[in-house]
Homo-oligomer: A and B are copies of this chain.
Amino acid sequence: MSSSSAAPAAKPPMRDALVAAAFRLFLDRGYEQTTVDDIVALAGVGRRSFFRYFPSKEDVVFPDHERCLADMTAFLAAGDEEHEPVRRVCDAARMVLGMYAENPAFSVQRYRLTRKVPGLRAYELSVVWRYERALAEYLRGRFAGRPDGTLRADVIAAAVVAAHNNALRSWLRSDGTGDAGAAVDHALGCVQRAFGHAADASAEAVPGGPVPAGERTAHPDDVVVLVSRRDSPVWRVVQEWESALGRP
């Protein structure tokens, strides 16, 4: 789980009370059948208080995305040239996972609700789109001037979001049991291997596989000699190359 560069803002208790009241009603009588008036009545506050925190009923379903988007954008903006770009966007994606994993019961409830209400699904797609654009914009900046820079940025951002969401959905479907962080790390690891930089590799590489750990060196000029069948799929060549570098 990555920590945000900005300290998380304290959540006002009234805001939390509104979210709790809303979800109790959504689960009891259904999302469509619940009005903002019902929510404020149960929370014991006025309508104006509701709209101070949430522009619409949909927004109370996703109370933390705006904060998470802001944190993620700040995290990306705080990066410098030393951060390998693909790793940086993977770390940014882990911030979203952190938001879900903070409160598994709430996240699972919301997942079930979102699957039942088409309007919420559409809302969620627009949020996912905003995360993806934040990652893509960062990568576009990092890849500026390179051939196919915007193409690479868009493709990698989409791959990161898809990998993150694949792991997140599995975790939500398992009712929030299991290690969400490990699942997302594994999924993002696949994307990093496909697109990332190998500057952190430290294994000696020879044809046929890694040499014993005792013989590892860290000269950046070392070469990898890879022997592959030429009808191998690209991903297998990448796997072999990773393996030659001594990575799992």
Contact B125 A190 (CB under 8 A): no
Query: Which of A15-23, A64-72, A144-152 sits within the interface?
Result: A144-152
| Distance A16 CA – B220 CA, assembled complex (angstroms) | 62
A245 CB contacts on chain B under 8 angstroms: 230
| Range, interface on chain A | 35 or more
Q: Which one of B158, B167, B205 contacts A159 once the chains associate, using CB atoms below 8 Å?
A: B158
Contact B229 A220 (CB under 8 A): yes
* Cβ-based interface call for A223 (8 A): yes
Query: Which of A1-9, A29-37, A232-240 sits within the interface?
Result: A232-240
* Cβ-based interface call for A154 (8 A): yes
A162 CB contacts on chain B under 8 angstroms: 154-155, 157-159
Contact A238 B234 (CB under 8 A): yes
Q: With A126-B122, A151-B187, A158-B158 as given contacts, are A195 and B234 in contact (CB-CB < 8 Å)? A: yes
Chain A contacts to B: CB under 8 angstroms: 121-123, 125-126, 129, 148, 150-152, 154-155, 157-159, 161-163, 165-167, 187, 190-191, 193-199, 201, 203, 205, 207, 220-235, 237-238, 241-242, 245
